Structure 1
Amino acid sequence: MAYLTQPDYVKYVCSCGQLKPITSLYFCRHCLKIRCGFCICHEVDSHYCANCLENMPSSEARLKKNRCSSCFDCPSCFHTLSTRATTAQPRQPPQDNAAGGDAKVENKQPKKMYYLSCFNCRWTSRDVGIPDQPVASGGWPERTNPFTTRVNQLLDYYKAIALQEKQEKIERERKKFSIRGKFITLTDKTGLTGAMARNIAGLPSAEGGSSSAIANFTPSQASADVAELPDDIFTKDVNLKQITSMCQRLASPEWQPASVSRLHPLAKLLSVKRSQRCRACDHNLTKPEYNPGSIKFKIELLAYYHVPEIKIMSYETIKPGQKSALLIKLTNPTGHEMQVRLLQPEDVPPVEEDEQPKSIDKSLEKSLNLEKDASLYKAMSRAPVLPPSCRVTAPAAALSVAPRDDAAEYDDDATHDDNDIILWRKSNKLALRLEVTADESVTPGAPAQSAFALEYSYRNTVPPSATASQHRDHTLYTTLLLDLGTIGE
């Protein structure tokens, strides 16, 4: 954990040009390229509550406004509320002594009741007058928003406008791409639209419903009548303990309580499990398990498990015009033997641009808005600016790194080589002794950053086709940026 909390002294260059640590990168086994958070697409797989681990589909989560119905957060400190049990003595009926006889008194057993309590700030549901419930899970009263009718009218109005604009856009695209003798859809050939088919079948028309929602909508009217402020607003003492903070008010946007006595429990927001896809080939990079209680992944293509990792062990103070020693540790995370060679960044061959997926009919894709928008991805794809101040002396020989062995992790014996570059070997790790040379023109106190490239062999275990089962070996390249402190005097 000490290494994870340190600053990022070693950064890798993503395929789009971003500089990220290896723990924040992904590796696509189909494109054979490193991907960062800007090179992937995020997809929501499932919704679940982080407190009770209840899993629900997207439609149900949308219906519940992405909130859990049985778990609540404290409206004061936003911690999770706990259910506390207490006993309530039932009321005894009044005794009738008019007859003069001794009436038999029936002793009723105390009833168990439940209320919500916060273990952090000691807020309870009794503070705002919420009655105790006889059931521990669910059944808590919900407040109704007085503006629910108006909000629903606005939603229907904007949905109708969106539907109308969508239909107008479809009509413009049809007229634009319609060619004599060629028809995109069956309705262009027969002239029978969806609205006409619904009218013939006797079904209500969607356009009629949207037009009626727009016609019956009543816009809001601004009013000049404003309630006057109370007379003692400037003379009354303000008790900050009874006034809610801005965060407490915005946590309940429907009511925005101004006093602490009107705070109500907040339904807990749902969490999501998401999968990530490569923008270039649309293959999954990460895919979690559907079970909300599981932390495992079905697919987990992190760069930490496929790309050789570099760590800085120690280095000397870098001075202008002098050579300094640099010790790094190279780790092979794969289960196959890896051949690694150190290069200069300018010796890396140019990378070919990502090919866009081929489509059958480009005009049809544009008309249906199915074509992928890669403008943002192309705008972010840029060459990184590498510092030329320091230069690492890269050895010409290739280095062989053993595959990863989990049993050898507990072996403390390290073998020392006679090589001037390799300091020691241990399982799938190598300690390398390099030299860093700084330019004479570098001013003392400037950042000492150096860059070099790695050429490594990678065995792809994904078969090229469904029939082929052999593995393929590839030669890949990656560029790294090292942060070596500041230039000394």
Structure 2
Amino acid sequence: MAYLTQPDFVRYVCSCGQLKPITNLYFCRHCLKIRCGFCICHEVDSHYCANCLENMPSSEARLKKNRCSSCFDCPSCFHTLSTRATFAQTRQDPAAGDAKVENKQAKKMYYLSCFNCRWTSRDVGIPDQPVASGGWPERPNPFSARINQLLDYYKAIAQQEKQEKLDRERKKFAIRGKYITLTDKTGLTGAMARNIAGLPSSESSSSAIANFVPSVASAEVEELPEDYHLREINLKQVTTMAQRLASPEWQPASVARLHPVARPLSVKRSQRCRACDHNLTKPEYNPGSIKFKIELLAFYHMPEVKIISHESVKPGQQSALLLKVSNPTSHEMALRLLPPDHQAETETDETTETHEKNEPKSIEKSLEKSLNLEKDTTWSKVIERKPQMPALSQICIPEVTLTLAQRDDAAEYDDDPQHDTSDIILWRKSNKLALRLKVSTDPSAEVGQPAQVALSLQYSYRNTVPPSAQSAQHRDHTLTTTVLLDLGTVCE
């Protein structure tokens, strides 16, 4: 989702350092941070078919291999196949002679057809079915036995490694009077615990490993026929690479062996903030609904900046820049323009961090840490970076505080903006504000270099999340975000 007129000309700096347009960002109302697709957690809510809108749970989708049983795609052009109906006439027996033939009603039969390339299931010899959906035959996979054997083998290997890791932890933290796991306290054996959890037994895992036959490479290769290089090739009868990869189990080489491909299922996913574990987006469970239960997108909570027009950027000169700033919230917003190197003040409890660093680690705490599932916070250290701000061009920042009115849907139809006599404000219209700024370019800038400028926006935000009894949050906050503007290239 992006603007067709301004694709990535205005980009915001995410909390992890990525540069993204405002349409690709999220805003967490709980930790008051900007999140992008790299610093959020994606979770699958439900599976559904995008063609018939059939909703199914994850367990059923796993059994069906994430494919719909009633919808198919064309193996030739990959469009959705449609079900066509026809009437099959009853054939008369010629040996009956002049015997009376009873009047039998024609039977209704169905076949698959593609409205794009005119491919039909009759082209490859698939018989017509008496039902419209659910009765199409499935092609057996010739390598299914080997694939199941490999799956059982790798599951047994994973179970064995997990058991060995648990045994090492038991030996490492063998403390008298302390129960390491639930089985030590209740007296349950490992086999009973696996049966309760629904895991395969250790005997079946060991038998799967013992009975596994590894694949052996063969040096004998089947020879090609003598007329292989002299045979004429009809490209209309040879499948393309995309058609072969659409059916990886068979990979048909000729067009006559193409079969309908079951349509893959789509998913509805919710996105969660990795820092505070709160949902940023959560869709409706109904696959036909396009609404969201939770939709914390950035352009609903942050000031939106657009470039109206700008003059050509030239070395050692000043150029005019017109920006439009919008307030998407239902509350009045105070806005200040700051240099891009401005950093917001963050409150950190240094004494607590020092106390945690100097606190000695006991065996009980390390044991509790190893046995509990803790949240992985290493992602923030890995992807956290600061983007490089442009130094050749800079915006002349005015030292004023601007006021943006709240969003009013009825005022969107007002076509008469209020012109202002200020040197900075060009006009006002409802929750929008047009700013007149100056961009100064360094004389050392070379022609053809990208002309980019950055500035920080300090705005007031009213938190609509009701404060809990444990944490008394303030409703009004002052937040800061950095915006990067692309003004093309430096001209002569």
Could you tell me the TM-score, scaled by structure 2's length? 0.92
CA distance in 2, matches of 1:198, 1:401: 62
Q: Please tell me the residue identity of whatever aligns with 1:451.
A: A
Counterparts of 1:142-291 in structure 2, within 5 Å, are 142-188=138-184, 193-195=189-191, 206-291=201-286
1:125 aligns with 2:121: yes
Specify whether residues 189 and 142 from structure 1 end up closer, same or farther in structure 2 by C-alpha distance, changes over 3 A only. closer
1:363 aligns with 2:366: yes
**C-alpha contact (below 8 Å) 2:428/2:434 kept by paired residues:** yes
Q: Please tell me the residue identity of whatever aligns with 2:115.
A: F
Aligned residue for 1:4, secondary structure, equals coil
State the Cα distance separating 1:324 from its structure 2 match.
1.4
Q: Please tell me the residue identity of whatever aligns with 1:73.
A: D
1:115 aligns with 2:118: no
**C-alpha contact (below 8 Å) 1:462/1:471 kept by paired residues:** no
Q: Return the match for 1:486 from 470, 486, 489.
A: 489
Q: Return the match for 2:137 from 141, 164, 167.
A: 141
State the Cα distance separating 1:5 from its structure 2 match.
5.2
Aligned residue for 1:83, secondary structure, equals strand
CA distance in 2, matches of 1:110, 1:168: 67
State the Cα distance separating 1:353 from its structure 2 match.
8.1
Specify whether residues 431 and 197 from structure 1 end up closer, same or farther in structure 2 by C-alpha distance, changes over 3 A only. closer
State the Cα distance separating 1:208 from its structure 2 match.
1.1
State the Cα distance separating 1:301 from its structure 2 match.
0.3
State the Cα distance separating 1:197 from its structure 2 match.
6.9
Q: Please tell me the residue identity of whatever aligns with 2:407.
A: R
Q: C-alpha deviations, 1:335-372, integer Å up to 9, x for none?
A: 0000001001223335568999x9xx863564346223
| Counterpart position of 2:361 | none
State the Cα distance separating 1:461 from its structure 2 match.
0.5
Structure 1: which 5+ residue stretches go unaligned?
Answer: none
CA distance in 1, matches of 2:192, 2:122: 59
State the Cα distance separating 1:110 from its structure 2 match.
1.9
| Counterpart position of 2:34 | 34
Counterparts of 1:40-55 in structure 2, within 5 Å, are 40-55=40-55
| Counterpart position of 1:417 | 420
Aligned residue for 1:454, secondary structure, equals strand
CA distance in 1, matches of 2:338, 2:318: 18
CA distance in 1, matches of 2:368, 2:321: 54
Number of aligned residue pairs: 482
CA distance in 2, matches of 1:198, 1:372: 26
Q: Please tell me the residue identity of whatever aligns with 2:117.
A: C
Q: Please tell me the residue identity of whatever aligns with 2:294.
A: I
Q: Return the match for 1:406 from 405, 409, 419.
A: 409
Q: Please tell me the residue identity of whatever aligns with 2:70.
A: S
Moved more, 13-22 or 464-473: 464-473
State the Cα distance separating 1:408 from its structure 2 match.
0.8
Specify whether residues 110 and 169 from structure 1 end up closer, same or farther in structure 2 by C-alpha distance, changes over 3 A only. same
**C-alpha contact (below 8 Å) 2:183/2:193 kept by paired residues:** no
Moved more, 187-196 or 131-140: 187-196
| Counterpart position of 1:294 | 289
| Counterpart position of 2:342 | 347
CA distance in 2, matches of 1:339, 1:125: 65
State the Cα distance separating 1:269 from its structure 2 match.
0.2
| Counterpart position of 2:464 | 461
Aligned residue for 2:34, secondary structure, equals strand
Specify whether residues 77 and 401 from structure 1 end up closer, same or farther in structure 2 by C-alpha distance, changes over 3 A only. same
Moved more, 37-46 or 109-118: 109-118
**C-alpha contact (below 8 Å) 1:316/1:324 kept by paired residues:** yes
Specify whether residues 197 and 434 from structure 1 end up closer, same or farther in structure 2 by C-alpha distance, changes over 3 A only. closer
